[in-house]
Chain A
Amino acid sequence: MNPPEPSTTAATRRAADYKSSRKPVWCPGCGDYGVLNSIFSALATTAIDPDRLVVVSGIGCSSRMPGFIRAYGFHGAHGRALPVAVGVKTANPALDVLVVGGDGDAFSIGGGHVSHVARRNINITYIVMDNQIYGLTKGQVSPTSDPGTTTKASPYGSFEYSIQPVQLMLSYGATYVARGFSSYPKELAAMIDRGIRHNGFSFIHVLSPCVTFNKSIGYDYYQSHVVPIPDDHDTNDIWAALRLTGDPPDTYYLGVFYEVDRPSYTDMLYKGGRRPSPEPPIDTERIIRRFS
């Protein structure tokens, strides 16, 4: 089967064109509403054809998002959004692939996949909505929860050190790494837009508060801890990017940390980055020689 070709005429599109008829199921005040709106704006800016867009997710509150976007969607299994997205993109590089999910889906159950998809530089955009808690299961610590977090499953306070998603993704070799905040939708939309345009694996870490199960890490907390990345930051400098992830502590820099050009997986796999059309025939005589 020949893959559909990308559309040649990029029509002008509005954010509303990407809105599905389904209403989000999130709690009032959930940070994910802001993220969804930023995704709508970014899609309108890129004018991606909704019929050539695939939105992939795993399981979690934020992973319900594909249902709210008018596009092809794949709401799969917990932690396995990235493998599915890799299959979609590899089988048909002409499609645009957006992956969405939460911190548990990405870094706990799905933690075995992120490093490999990053190092392979699969040309997809991964938006992780981090609320530092498991929301769907009503509040347990996640890999990004702060030490000391008290939940029903950590009644004496968590004593586990938390991971830093941006630092990890930089170390794993992601070629585009940014961080946004759901309260700053315009800036976030610009980061998503740039991520979609980036040829390679783009990772966007989004601070997206859970107002129901993690009240202490809410909008006020983030407002007092976020700082824009300085204008003079060099996005080609991996060491400068890494420094911004830990210095000073308790600071969340917002913006693009890092972006570098490296051929994507499908660039390397297929000549011209696209599956050949028409498909070359099987050379039956060569195969017979090989096995006789």
Chain B
Amino acid sequence: MEAVREFVVGIGGESGEGVVLAGDILTMTAARMNIHSSSFRTFPAEARGGPSVVKLRLCLDHVYSLGDEYDILVAFNEDAYGLHGPDLAQHGVLVIDGEHDDPVQRRHPELADRIVYQIPMDRISRKDVGEPRTKNMVAVGAVSALFGFSRVMIEKNLAERFAKRSGKILQDNLNAFTAGYDYAVAHVEKHDPFELKEEEGEGFIVLSGNEAVALGSLYAGCRFFGGYPITPATEIMEILAYELPRVGGAMYQAEDEIASIGAVLGASFTGVRSMTATSGPGLSLMAELIGLSSMGEIPCVIVNVQRGGPSTGLPTKTEQADLSLALAATHGDAPHVVLAATTIRDCFEIMQLAFDVADCYQLPVIVLTEQALGFRRADLPRSLLRAKPVTSPLCPPQEIVDQALYFRYRLTENGVSARTIPGTIGGAHVVTGLEHAEDGKPAYDPPTRRAMMEKRQRKLTGVLKEFGSVKRYGDANPDIGVIGWGSTAGPIREAVQIACGAGVKAGGFVPRMIYPSPNEDIRAFIQSCKKVFVIEGNMSGQYAAFLRSQIPGFDPVVVTRYDGLPIQRGDVLKKIREMAP
């Protein structure tokens, strides 16, 4: 049998059984073996209890989506099989807790002619290791033996992970790993083709979207973070809480989201690159001060890791339904920028763009990511984090100022006025959320009002021209064009590639800058396609509705998904096939 080196693994169990840790160890081991990966974990909203699952796709090239069915399903119990069994490919392998003399097929006749390896994970952890919490490591041991995850690397990984814990914890985990490994070698007759092999290289780093956002911000020069814990964005705050003090910055855990963005505006007023990260409910609370940022022309960056809404909604699941909120952002006409990260790597890179736009144009920038990106992890080259971090802002505040000639809100051609920060001699001014004249003094007369509204709005022309950014995939003159945004970029890219490979002329278009909208690029894409559909992860088709308002006469077919799960490449492919000539 020829070895298959690319496959998808699922690990399912009860929350608290160590599913996430098992997935994490396999992911990091693959990265050290120079195997590309994409992985995703879901867990229940409550701190404990309920089903938990990790999906890990392993490939020889960088991948942009999680793939479709599982080739290997590791079930910590039969409930997990019941839940995830339907997603196991017909040719797939089930690795499940249980004894040889009690075949799972007795209770599940549908498994009769499938590949099933039973490993007594529970018994080994309790009887042989004497620590039931190591059940996950028994499973990892068996998976290592069966599918070629490097034993040496896993043992080293365990030693690193548990270095700061008691020696017993490390020993129990190592014992469990070895017992699982040895059991599989001694008792399982392998008859599947899935086998990893170590590749050449220095090893990859592995980042989740949240980790990438945090590091991207750090490297982009962010030195103040004000935030409030909220699933699924909290990790960004936690990483920066650790990293910022090491570079002279600060993480401020505020009393609520309103205080978070208030502190961000205060810090930014002093010239420090500042940000917050939240999810839908937090963004709703921040609305008023986003308007203040726009009106007072104080740069700020707000990351919104979208979850299912409205209200408390689906805290641990994904959706792309905060777009309309981000586009409106606040009351009044408040010029601001909306960016949407497309991939894990983009979660890192888009933060540089966000801070540059915010600084140079002195306005709020909302960066949309999603739980599907925030919790998904992918391999990235080490060079990404070796790049020289930005230490000084692209558009520094003005330094020496003649107070008599200085007007904080001077009317200019591109709408941007010189900004001074406290401490600058002669640069004193008062920021206000009231409408104001060039010197910042409140003013409500119609000519001033018009001039100032237009000044702030003009900035968006420059933003689009200088920083506008879109991604296009596939055929240059497609029969079927797909438009998406955010995390759908990966599935669209792969689906378009597969469709093109199968002889369908397909093309994809994904903007990184949603607003101001790159209408010329969008129009050019639409005109190059015979048929176009928009696909997005919300019920009402928020981006499609926005595009209708931006591109007169454009009325696309809309595919939506709003079940808490991310759009998969299969969803994209299905529609391409349906519409193909």
Contact = CB atoms under 8 A, between A and B. Distances in A.
B248 A275 contact: yes
Interface stretch (A76-84, A152-160, A190-198): A76-84
A186 to B, nearest CB: 27
A80 B259 contact: yes
Given A77-B288, A281-B247, A282-B247, A87 B262 contact: yes
A280 interface: yes
Interface residues of B, number: 68
Contacts of A94: 423
A280 to B, nearest CB: 5
Contact of A284 (B250, B254, B274, B389): B389
Interface string B269-300: 11110100000000000001100100010000
Contacts of B385: 284, 287-288, 291
A283 B246 contact: yes
Contacts of A291: 205-207, 211, 215, 385
Contacts of A205: none
Contact of A279 (B215, B226, B391): B391
B248 A77 contact: no
Given A80-B262, A83-B262, A284-B385, A95 B428 contact: no
B433 interface: yes
A13 interface: no
A51 B425 contact: yes
Contact of A86 (B266, B288, B428, B434): B266
Given A77-B262, A80-B289, A292-B205, A87 B423 contact: no
Interface in A69-113: 70-77, 80, 82-92, 94-95, 112-113
A76 B296 contact: yes
A115 B256 CA distance: 12
Interface in B225-248: 226, 243, 245-248
Contacts of B272: 1, 91-92
- In this complex, the member of A1, A50, A279, A291 whose beta carbon has the largest number of chain B beta carbons within 10 angstroms is A291
Interface string B395-428: 0100000000000000000000000001111111
Given A66-B430, A77-B433, A287-B215, A90 B267 contact: yes
Contacts of B261: 83
Contacts of A75: 430-434
Contact of A87 (B204, B215, B252, B430): B252
Given A92-B270, A284-B386, A292-B206, A54 B259 contact: no
A74 B205 contact: no
B382 interface: yes
A237 B469 CA distance: 62
A276 interface: yes
Nearest to A70: B428
A91 B247 contact: no
Contacts of B258: 80, 83, 112
B32 interface: yes
A287 B385 CA distance: 8
A74 B441 contact: no
A178 interface: no
A3 interface: yes
Contacts of A88: 266-267, 269-270, 422
A290 to B, nearest CB: 9
Contacts of A92: 270-272, 422-423
A281 to B, nearest CB: 7
Interface string B464-497: 0000000000000000000000000000000000
A287 B223 CA distance: 16
A269 B289 CA distance: 26
B16 interface: no
B573 interface: no
- In this complex, the member of B28, B32, B267 whose beta carbon has the largest number of chain A beta carbons within 10 angstroms is B267
B32 A77 contact: no
A52 B255 contact: no
Contacts of A74: 265-266, 269, 296, 430-431
A169 interface: no
A274 B168 CA distance: 43
Interface string A41-70: 000000000111111100100000011001
A288 B382 contact: yes
B423 A3 contact: yes
Contacts of A85: 266
A51 B206 contact: no
B534 to A, nearest CB: 35
Nearest to A286: B246
Given A52-B423, A291-B211, A22 B441 contact: yes
B392 A1 contact: yes
Contact of B223 (A66, A269, A279): A279
A64 B245 CA distance: 35
A75 B298 CA distance: 12
B444 to A, nearest CB: 12
B481 to A, nearest CB: 36
Interface string B192-204: 0000000000011
A19 interface: no
A67 B432 contact: yes
Nearest to B226: A87
B561 interface: no
B246 to A, nearest CB: 7
A64 to B, nearest CB: 8
23 contacts: A1-B271, A1-B393, A54-B422, A55-B430, A67-B442, A72-B428, A76-B265, A76-B289, A83-B262, A84-B262, A87-B263, A87-B269, A90-B252, A112-B256, A112-B258, A116-B255, A270-B248, A276-B248, A279-B391, A283-B246, A284-B389, A287-B243, A291-B385
Given A83-B266, A112-B255, A281-B389, 5 more contacts: A51-B427, A86-B263, A89-B266, A292-B32, A292-B204
Which 9 pairs between the two chains have the least Cβ-Cβ distance?
Answer: A87-B266, A83-B262, A4-B423, A73-B430, A91-B267, A87-B263, A84-B266, A87-B267, A83-B259
